[in-house]
Structure 1
Amino acid sequence: MALTARGARLTRQHRQEQLSIRARFLQELLRLFGLLDPARLDATTEPWLTAMVPLLRQHWQRSAAASAAYLALFLEAETGRPAPEPRLPRFTPERARAAQTSLLVTGPVKIRNLTQAGQPLASAVRVAQSTVAGAAGRHVLDGGRAVLLDPEPLDRSGVRYARVTDPDPCWFCAMMASRGYVYLSEESGGREASDRFAGPGMFKFHDYCGCTLEPTLDPDAPLPEDNARFADLWVTATRGLHTDAARRAFRRALEGRPLPGDPILAAA
């Protein structure tokens, strides 16, 4: 965990604030989903996207601002010195296009594919509401993640990160969190293991993912409480096992049973 009690408290508050930002966004998303008429997809997709992308951008910026405030306060608490104000990233045209593509694929395209496969229209719409929420929520939280991983405003020499999960992470995110403060490069971040997840860099965040990050200047700092619990579970569940067998054993121990919708399978 953080070296100071204040730093640990700030990380908890930051995680909760990010999830609150996503929750407020999802409320607005569900309200605007009605603009997409499943019986008139060709006519209503463009107006729906026109309304959705600015809404996503607004909450992406809120996520980024919240992470910038957190990072400055966290580094000040951990070092005892005022920290440079983190740079707020821009919601670039490239980000807007990526968000629009996700919305299109998980919404109108999903409805069309499901109905063409014989699924009832009402059922297809419910599935699409869920997949749109999962993908769009990831894009919103990427605003805050972009701040935490931006190398420009601070000298990141020696700074490492731990993955901080939401209260109910998937087994893969829990496994990555169990590794603690090891994320310094793409290699140490598990590039080969996580290349099925969306996003560049050393961290991958899948649809529905609520994870964030905690930096540290001391890689030997105690782990956050949940990370320590996952680390203990990894040790006990995977003793004598390696690679895929170890991952399967960890998942069984965490979940108690295999579950559908595993993000690795879904993103493969």
Structure 2
Amino acid sequence: MRTATAALVEEHWQAQERIGVRVAGQALVQWSRVNPHSLEESGAAWLALIRRERRRSRDQAAAFYRLYRALEAGHTVPPLSGEYVGETTTLGELREDRANQTDTIRTPEPDDDEEIRLDGFDWPKEPEEHHDRAAVASLVSQGPAKVRQRVDQADDGQARGRLDDGGFLQELEDAVDTAGRASAGAADREALRAGRDLIDQASKRDRRVVGWARVTDGNPCAWCAVLASRGAIYTSQVTAARGGRRKPKDSLDGRVRANRRPPVAREDLTRYHNGCHCQTVPVYSRNDFMTPQARAFDRQWQEVTRGMTGAEARRAWRRHIEASRGH
């Protein structure tokens, strides 16, 4: 991966992370006003918050996609707004658009005047109703529903005689705090859903895309680190063009090493957990797609799991990553 592209990818996940962190903080404020007996009202307030930040995530993702594609493929696509801007643009204009969407100040680059041709392209529409349902279900299940369950247990007599017990009240308060943090994490993930989904769906219909790769945030979990360490996962068309299945990257003279990484499917790349700010990006070249961090994880996997296979290797890797994260 070129230095300029690697820097852009890192800036993208950081910009999306800022959205997630901001919405998580706002969700915590909303949580302090939750009444477990009126979840519909709580869900409506959360939904308004998530919708606003989803739009921001989607707009930022589109600006990133246009600039990233120009750098990687030498061509780009029209603006998300559908506004006609002619048949060409420049790298400078694409960088300016991205800076506006991310509220950042950009530094002029020597190649800002480079002309980039626009390919014909139809952006996928956001499935807003689907995203709304996912957001409400996620937020409610992660927080208010669990607290209401505890309250209902007290109301129906399962915990009768404990409502004035200090230990029970502390237990209930702890449950509320835990549920609030979980709901904030869900709000983070749901806000970023629109941007991630836009890149996923757009890249599936982009005729120049040959594969995808996972790019981690600065503090990935063990599974996300493995996904990143695999580099690119190529489309079936690219695999066919190469004459069949790709030879495992960690093979030697046809013999697969014992500590090979777990296989990764296309669907795995687009799964995210609460608090995860990793991203999946399209690949426009058949050359290996590896960020500096991905190469580091690749080396670490080989070292940490040497001589191991299966569950044993996964456990060793998880311990290594958790230790490096300070957990």
**TM range, normalised to the smaller chain?**
0.7 to 0.9
Q: Which residue pairs with 2:274 in the alignment?
A: 207
Secondary structure of the corresponding residue to residue 17 of structure 1:
helix
Whose radius of gyration is greater, 1 or 2? 2
> Equivalent residues in 2 for 1:56-67 (5 A)?
56-67=50-61
Question: In the aligned structure 2, how far is the partner of 1:152 from the partner of 1:15?
Answer: 17
Deviation of residue 244 (structure 1)? 1.6
Q: Deviations over 1:71-116 (max 9, x none)?
A: 1100101122333446264242122112111111111112234564
So what's the TM-score if we normalise by structure 1?
Answer: 0.80
Pick one of 99, 124, 142 that aligns with 1:106. 142
Question: In the aligned structure 2, how far is the partner of 1:102 from the partner of 1:259?
Answer: 28
Secondary structure of the corresponding residue to residue 313 of structure 2:
helix
Question: In the aligned structure 2, how far is the partner of 1:215 from the partner of 1:158?
Answer: 6
Q: Which residue pairs with 1:254 in the alignment?
A: 321
Secondary structure of the corresponding residue to residue 233 of structure 2:
coil
1:223–1:11 Cα change, 3 Å: same
Are 1:81 and 2:75 an aligned pair? Answer: yes
Q: Which amino acid aligns with 1:20?
A: R
> Equivalent residues in 2 for 1:1-268 (5 A)?
1=1, 4-37=2-35, 41-42=36-37, 44-85=38-79, 87=123, 89-114=125-150, 116=153, 120-151=171-202, 154-156=205-207, 158-182=209-233, 184=235, 202-256=269-323
Q: Which amino acid aligns with 1:59?
A: E
Q: List gaps (5 residues or longer) in structure 2.
A: 81-122, 154-158, 160-167, 237-245, 247-261
Question: In the aligned structure 1, how far is the partner of 2:318 from the partner of 2:294?
Answer: 15
The RMSD of aligned alpha carbons is 2.9
User: CA contact under 8 A between 1:18 and 1:141: conserved in structure 2?
Assistant: yes
Q: Percent same amino acid at aligned positions?
A: 32
1:242–1:183 Cα change, 3 Å: farther
User: CA contact under 8 A between 1:15 and 1:166: conserved in structure 2?
Assistant: yes
User: CA contact under 8 A between 1:84 and 1:154: conserved in structure 2?
Assistant: no
1:81–1:94 Cα change, 3 Å: closer
